[in-house]
Amino acid sequence: MRLDKFLKVSRLIKRRTIAKELADAGRIEINGRIAKSASFVKVNDKLKIHYGSRILNIVILNLNDNAKKEQSKEMYEILSEN
């Protein structure tokens, strides 16, 4: 699954265009490497997302193309939040 789609479906970021802008600005890392919006993610990948002054570290647990609100929280686990 593409990174920007995962971020939208998991509800970590509300809109896919915003996820694309964040990724293309170099503010998202997959397994320690800066990622573009078209990068593919898979289960057990670790993401580091820079939201302004906040940094969120997560691990991907599940990939769903369409997830309801309750299911979206099961797609990832928060490792740390700064």
In order of their start, the domains of the chain are: 3-81 (3.10.290.10)
Q: What is the pLDDT of residue 67?
A: 86
Using a cut of 0.95, tell me whether the model's pTM lies above it.
no
The yes-or-no verdict on residue 77 having pLDDT over 90 is yes
Q: What is the pLDDT of residue 24?
A: 92
Query: pLDDT per residue over 3-20, tens digit each?
Result: 999 999 999 999 999 999
Sheet holding 76-81, edge to edge: 33-34, 28-30, 46-51, 54-60, 76-81
Spatial distance between the Cα atoms of 5 and 7, rounded to a whole number of angstroms: 5
Query: pLDDT per residue over 23-72, tens digit each?
Result: 999 999 999 999 999 999 999 999 999 988 999 999 999 999 888 888 88
